[in-house]
Structure 1
Amino acid sequence: MSGFRPVPDVLAHLAGRWRVERSVRDLAGGDEGHFTGVTVFGPLDGGGLLHEESGEFTWRGVTRPATRTLRFLPGRRPGTADVRFADGRPFHELELTSGRYVAGHPCAADFYRGEFTVTDDDRWRTVWLVGGPAKDLLLTTDYVREG
């Protein structure tokens, strides 16, 4: 048994409000940061979900407000998502029929490798490893469904 929860429809599963806890580690420099906040996956005109994340990010002892917006559009295959940045640029595909998915995204000279895992109906995790000349980071985010 894999320990992952299969998700037949990514968009249906993600819809709603999630509490978010993210750790950020600079693997080269040793600095650590932490984000705490909320992500809301709400309906998007034309189909899909608008991912709006807001909270506070603490880095090197300084806490600041932080936000992020993504678009989760219906994917090429039923039950999948085409994840895009707020401005419409492609980010990655997402398919969770096995409860686990690995995505990749080149960003300038750096490469983002993300692993998505679903443990049950109300919990999922992303782990992004970012490597290249500009970044050497590990970002681990836990999502817990609210209400």
Structure 2
Amino acid sequence: MSSHESAPQPAHRGVREPAPYPVADVAGYLAGRWSIERTVRDLRTGTHGSFRGTAGFRPDAAAEAEAGDEALLHVEEGRLTWDGTAYPASRTLRLRPRPDGTVEVDFADGRPFHDLDLSTGRWSAVHPCAADRYEGTFTAVTADEWHLEWRVTGPAKDQLLRTVYRRLG
């Protein structure tokens, strides 16, 4: 389930959110390679960490061969440092472009995750995961930078994840 958010985002701890950068074609905007800087906070325990790595948005050759689908694979790879210990970490998502410039985002196994529409430069998405709830805010800042914040609440999690993506080369 997703919803469009047109109201300005509140400032976080006195930091003003940048003005959104409207994007007519999400898949075209995201295509390529991005650096990732993510902070992760467990609000229940006070534990925190960070993720540093890269994200690639590239054509999904398998989906195109199977169904003529022009999907993009979103592959993140890097290192998660959690409570002082570093681990390799990765994830893969699939983006399915729509004719109106939006995309449907699925997990790698095909399960639906959320929609993404950056036509105003900002988008909010909600994803229930078991009894937990993921609320995401996507903000395109410039042609070469976008921000993502996930607030995760529920019986298993109380987390805040903030990510900055910057285009590489």
**Structure number with bigger Rg:** 2
Stretches of 4+ aligned residues off by more than 6 angstroms: none
Of the three residues 9, 16, 23, the one matched with 1:7 is: 23
Of the three residues 38, 47, 60, the one matched with 2:70 is: 47
Let me know the Cα RMSD of the aligned residues. 0.9
Aligned residues: 145
Q: For 1:47, what is the secondary structure of its paired residue?
A: coil
Judging by fraction of residues, say which structure has more strand: 1
Q: How do 1:1-147 residues align onto structure 2 when only pairs under 5 Å count?
A: 3-44=19-60, 45=64, 46-75=69-98, 78-147=100-169
Q: For 2:57, what is the secondary structure of its paired residue?
A: strand
Q: Deviations over 1:41-87 (max 9, x none)?
A: 00122202100100000001110100100000123x51000000000
Could you tell me which runs of 5 or more consecutive residues in structure 1 were left unpaired when the two chains were aligned. Answer: none
TM-score (norm 2): 0.84
Per the TM alignment, residue 40 of structure 1 is displaced from its structure 2 partner at its CA by 0.2
Tell me the percent identity.
53
Q: Which moved further from structure 2: 5-14 or 44-53?
A: 44-53
TM-score (norm 1): 0.96
Once residues 21 and 119 of structure 1 are traced to their aligned partners in structure 2, the CA distance between those partners, rounded to angstroms, is 15
Could you tell me which runs of 5 or more consecutive residues in structure 2 were left unpaired when the two chains were aligned. Answer: 1-7, 9-18
